[in-house]
Amino acid sequence: MSNAAGIAFQLLQSVLVVLAAPLLTGWVNQCRAWLQNRSAPSLLLPYYTLARLFHKDAVIAKNASALFRVTPYVLFGCMWLAAGIVPVLATGLPFAPAADIVALVGVFALARVFSALAAMDVGTSFGGLGARREMLIGFLAEPAMLMTLFTAAFISGSTQLTTIVDTLAHREFAIYPSLAFAAVAFLMVLLAENARIPIDNPTTHLELTMVHEAMILEYSARHLALIEWAVAIKLFAYVTIGIALFLPWGIAPAGDWSGLPLAAAALAAKLAAAGAGLALIETLLAKLRLFLAPEFLSTAFLLAVLGMLIHFLAIG
């Protein structure tokens, strides 16, 4: 792989992901609207929202500290990094080795910690509440995520997404029960981490239930826009990770321009399916009480660990 081509691929993918992320959000909302017999908003609604937010004047609480203003940028940066690492279109990107799955989880953790801190900065009761709940969800989701990733890592003998995807993509087809467990666990973590039903509801502002929204209540205008965008990228990244792990077929090796269209097409198809599925889940499930969230997530953790054990039993 020529280095230049690699770099080009890297940049291309990052930019593409960042730009395409809101689209996925829009698609999920649309599907959900359809499923709920509502007249669906435009697919591009998220873009309009972002644009409008960017134009507004930022309103910041008087006693907010620098941390409050830096955080949106940090979040955005973390997510961009994640987008650069996950093999969305192609494997073997030059920057991919900079962070393996553990580091990837680390990136998300970093983002979470910053958003929680920012939430507590102004010192309203809502901010604290949101931060607390977010961390509560996080401390269970994170290990579960790691364990699912470890299962894949054990199968491929590596913690680098690139290698994992390579091995999983170009292997003769075989059923991995461990991967099945891991997949379920991953799905649960995805729901929790991206503030979806049944853990959280991105569209609510009901103080009893809201988690993520409670944290960003104080944000407005460009800061809010960056955060929303980061959230979109996060969702996109998670979905693509899931795809890369559990249905990695059709992905192109970096620098292989010919494989690119096919890869893009495959990706689009998978994303569409995934988005629809997500919407379906959100429609079918009801929101859980907050204190059922730990049970939900510990189930995910348990499944992930089980998957790992099954892997070891399978190989002897």
Partner 1 sequence: MNADALTGSLAAAACWLATGVLALVPARRAWFARTLAFPLGALAGLALAGFGLDAIWLPAARMTLPLGLPGLPFHLRLDPLSGFFLMLLGAVAAGISVYAAGYFRGEQPGRLALIGLQYHVFLASMALVVLADDAYLFMVAWETMALASYFLVTTDHRRPAIRSAGFLYLLVAHLGALAILLCFGVLHGGRGDYAFDALRAASLSPGWATAAFLLAFFGFGAKAGMIPLHAWLPEAHPAAPSPVSALLSGVMLKTAIYGMVRVIYDLIGGVRWEWGLVVLVVGAGTTLFGVLYALMQHDLKRLLAYHSVENIGIILLGLGMSMVFIGFGHPVAGALGLVAALYHTLNHAVFKGLLFLGAGSILRSAGRRNLNEMGGLIHRMPRTAFYFLVGALAISALPPLNGFVSEWLTFQTALQSPVLENGVVRSLLPLFAATLALAGALTAMCFVKVYGIAFLGRPRQPAGAEARDAGNFERFGMAWLAAGCFVLGLFPTAFLLMLNRVGVSLTGHGLSEAALESNWLWLIPTAPGQASYSPVIFLAVIAGTVLLCWVLVRRFYHGRVRYADPWDCGYPEQTARMQDTADAFGQPIRHVFGPVYRMHRVLPSAEDPAPRYVLKIEDRHWYALYLPAARLAAYLSAKVSLLQRGRISIYLLYSFLTLIALLVFVR
**Residue 90 bridge partners (DSSP):** 252
**Residue 91 bridge partners (DSSP):** 253
**Residue count, binding to partner 1 (CB under 8 A):** 81
H helix intervals, 157-247? 161-169, 177-193, 212-215, 221-246
Residues 156-175 that bind partner 1 (CB under 8 A): 157-160, 163
- Is-contact 306 314, C-beta < 8 A? no
Residue 57 C-beta: closest distance to partner 1, Å: 5
- Is-contact 89 252, C-beta < 8 A? yes
Q: Which stretch binds partner 1 (CB under 8 A): 112-120, 189-197, 264-272, 280-288?
A: 112-120
Q: Report the chain's terminal Cα–Cα distance, integer Å.
A: 37
Omega of the bond leading into 261 within 30 degrees of 0 (cis)? no
> Measured between alpha carbons, how far is 255 from 172 in angstroms, rounded to an integer?
24
Q: Which stretch binds partner 1 (CB under 8 A): 37-45, 94-102, 180-188, 270-278?
A: 94-102
Give the one residue of 88, 90, 100, 187 binding partner 1; rule: CB under 8 A. 100
Give the one residue of 55, 170, 171, 289 binding partner 1; rule: CB under 8 A. 55
> Measured between alpha carbons, how far is 231 from 29 in angstroms, rounded to an integer?
14
Give the one residue of 6, 22, 84, 87 binding partner 1; rule: CB under 8 A. 84
Q: Which amino acid is at 206?
A: L
Report phi then psi at 151, rounded to 5: -55, -50
> Measured between alpha carbons, how far is 86 from 232 in angstroms, rounded to an integer?
15
Give the one residue of 16, 43, 47, 95 binding partner 1; rule: CB under 8 A. 95
Best CA proximity match to 193, nearest among 182, 180, 202: 202
Nearer to partner 1, 23 or 99 (CB): 99
Q: Which stretch binds partner 1 (CB under 8 A): 21-29, 121-129, 234-242, 274-282?
A: 121-129
Give the one residue of 21, 88, 140, 243 binding partner 1; rule: CB under 8 A. 140
Best CA proximity match to 72, nearest among 110, 106, 114, 104: 114
Q: Which amino acid is at 283?
A: T
> Measured between alpha carbons, how far is 165 from 153 in angstroms, rounded to an integer?
10
Residues 290-309 that bind partner 1 (CB under 8 A): 291, 294, 301, 305, 308-309
Give the one residue of 34, 47, 126, 246 binding partner 1; rule: CB under 8 A. 126
Binding to partner 1 by CB under 8 A, coded x per residue (else -) over 183-222, reads: ------------------------x---------xx---x
Burial of 164 (0-12, 13-18, 19+ CB in 10 A): buried
Give the one residue of 63, 172, 174, 258 binding partner 1; rule: CB under 8 A. 63
Q: According to the binding rule CB under 8 A, does residue 11 interact with partner 1?
A: no
Residue 145 C-beta: closest distance to partner 1, Å: 9
Nearer to partner 1, 122 or 168 (CB): 122
Give the one residue of 81, 88, 244, 267 binding partner 1; rule: CB under 8 A. 81
Give the one residue of 153, 161, 192, 271 binding partner 1; rule: CB under 8 A. 153
Residues 227-266 that bind partner 1 (CB under 8 A): none
Give the one residue of 21, 88, 116, 239 binding partner 1; rule: CB under 8 A. 116
Q: According to the binding rule CB under 8 A, does residue 102 interact with partner 1?
A: yes
Tokens standing for 295?
Answer: 């049970």
> Measured between alpha carbons, how far is 184 from 303 in angstroms, rounded to an integer?
8
Give the one residue of 1, 5, 43, 132 binding partner 1; rule: CB under 8 A. 132
Q: Which amino acid is at 137?
A: I
